[in-house]
Amino acid sequence: MTRLHDLHREQGQSPWLDNLRRGWLTSGELQAWIDRGVLGITSNPSIFQKAMSDTDAYDEQLAALKAEGRSIEESYWELVTSDITAALDLLTPVYEESGGIDGYVSVEVNPSLASDTEGTTAAARDLSERVARPNLLVKIPATVEGMPSIRQMISEGRSVNVTLIFSLDRYEQVMEAYLAGLEACPGDLSGVASVASFFISRTETEVDRRLEAIGTPAALDLRGRGAVAQGCAAYDLFRSTFSGPRWEALVKRGARVQRPLWASTSTKNPDYPDTLYVDALIGPDTVNTIPDATLEAFEEHGTVERTIDADPAAGRDILAALTGVGIDLDDVADQLEVEGVDTFITSFDDLLVSLTDKAATL
C-alpha cells in the first residue's frame, strides 16, 4: 500500500494525476501510477503542448492523418482523443470498482471559446459524443460565459470538469450551475459526474506578489497562507451547498456531489514545502489533481491527515486579514482567470504551429 492508497482509504480524498503523455501509455508508466493509487487523470492544452512538442511519439499518427488529408486542427483532436481514450481504458476498472466515483479522465474544449457560450456548448457536446465513454469529464472554463454551458451539459446528462476557478463567488456560481443542470436533467442522475477545479498555487503566487509589493510586516506575514485559506473556505461552501432539502431531493434521484478538485497544486515558491498544497487540503469528498513530481514528493514524505476543516475560523481570519492589508481577492481572481485562459490559448496555438512544422517534415 502507498500513501496515495492511504489518502483515499483513510481520508476520503481521491488523488488524480495532472499529466498525460503517450509515452506513459505505451511504456506502462501510467498503469504503474494507477497501481500506486492514482484514481483519475487531468489534462489541459499546456500538458498536450509539452507532450506533443517534446517527443516523436505522435509522429507516426500525425503522418497518417496528414496522408488522409486531415487539417492540423483535426489532427490535433485525433491525437488528443487517442490519448484520452487509451487512458480511459486503463481507468475503466477504477471507474467500475468505485461505482462511478473515480476513474475519470478530463479533456478540455478549445480554450479560445472561453468567452463564447454557444461555441463552448457545441464543442463540449462534440467531445462528449466523440469519445462516448462514461468516465470522460469534459473541461469547461468557469468564465461567466461558461456558466450556461455547464448547466446545459449537466442537464443533458453529460459529465463536466469545471476548470479555472479562482474565487469563492465564482465557485458558488459553478455549484449553482451544477444544481440547476441536475434539476433540469430528466430521469436517473447517478450517471452524471462533476468536479469543480479550484486553482491553488496560481492564486498563492499572485497574492504573494501583491503582499510583497505592499511590503508592511503585517502583509509579509501573510505570504504563503492565502490560497490554502481560500481552499478551506471553498470546502465550507461545498459542505453547506450539498445539504438541505434542495440537495436531498436530487439525491433521491441518484445525484452525486460535485466534488471540489484542488488544481495547480505544485509548489511554485521553493521556500514552501513541496507538498504544501496536498498536505494542507486533505478532506473527504475532494479530489487533488497532482503533477507527477509532486506526487513523488508526497509518496516520499507527505502527511496523510485530515486538514481541510481542522480550523475553519483560522482560514476565515486569514482571508479577512488579506483584505485588511489591501488585497482585493476578487481582482486577483479576475486577473488570474484572464491569464489562465490566455495561457491555454497560447499553448493551443503554439501546439498547432508545432504540429504544422512537424507535418511538413514527416
Q: For the segment 75-120, what is each residue's pLDDT rounded down to a tens digit?
A: 999 999 999 999 999 999 999 999 999 999 999 999 999 999 999 9
The answer to whether residues 309 and 11 touch, using CB atoms and an 8 Å cutoff, is no
Dist CA 263 CA 150 (whole Å): 18
Helices (H) and strands (E) in the chain, counts: 17, 8
Give the model's pLDDT for residue 361: 87
Determine whether 50 is an active site residue. no
Query: Which amino acid makes up residue 24?
Result: W
Query: Which residue from 252, 125, 256 is spatially nearest to 179, judged by alpha carbons?
Result: 256
Q: For the segment 304-342, what is each residue's pLDDT rounded down to a tens digit?
A: 999 999 998 999 999 999 999 999 999 999 999 999 999
Which residue out of 139, 252, 268, 358 is catalytically annotated? 139
Q: For the segment 302-311, what is each residue's pLDDT rounded down to a tens digit?
A: 999 999 999 9
Tell me: pLDDT of 362 over 90. Answer: no
Query: Which amino acid makes up residue 246?
Result: R
The SS3 assignment for 40 reads strand
Give the model's pLDDT for residue 1: 86
Give the model's pLDDT for residue 53: 86
Q: For the segment 4-41, what is each residue's pLDDT rounded down to a tens digit?
A: 999 999 999 999 999 999 999 999 999 999 999 999 99
Contacts from 357-360 at CB under 8 Å and sequence distance 24+? 358/59, 358/62, 359/62, 359/63, 359/66, 359/72, 359/75
Gyration radius of the chain over CA positions? 20
Q: What cell does 48 get?
A: 498536450
Give the model's pLDDT for residue 193: 98
pTM (two decimals): 0.96
**Under 8 Å CB-to-CB from 191, ≥6 apart: which residues?**
100, 134, 157, 159, 254
The SS3 assignment for 261 reads strand
Dist CA 162 CA 124 (whole Å): 12
**Under 8 Å CB-to-CB from 340, ≥6 apart: which residues?**
141, 164, 166, 199, 202
Angle (deg, nearest 10), helices 226-241 and 312-324: 120
Query: Which residue from 22, 158, 11 is spatially nearest to 90, judged by alpha carbons?
Result: 22
The answer to whether residues 335 and 57 touch, using CB atoms and an 8 Å cutoff, is no
**Under 8 Å CB-to-CB from 166, ≥6 apart: which residues?**
198, 199, 202, 203, 332, 333, 336, 337, 340
Domains of the chain from N-terminus onward: 3-201+228-304+341-361 (3.20.20.70)
Question: What are 288's strand-pairing partners?
Answer: 15, 262
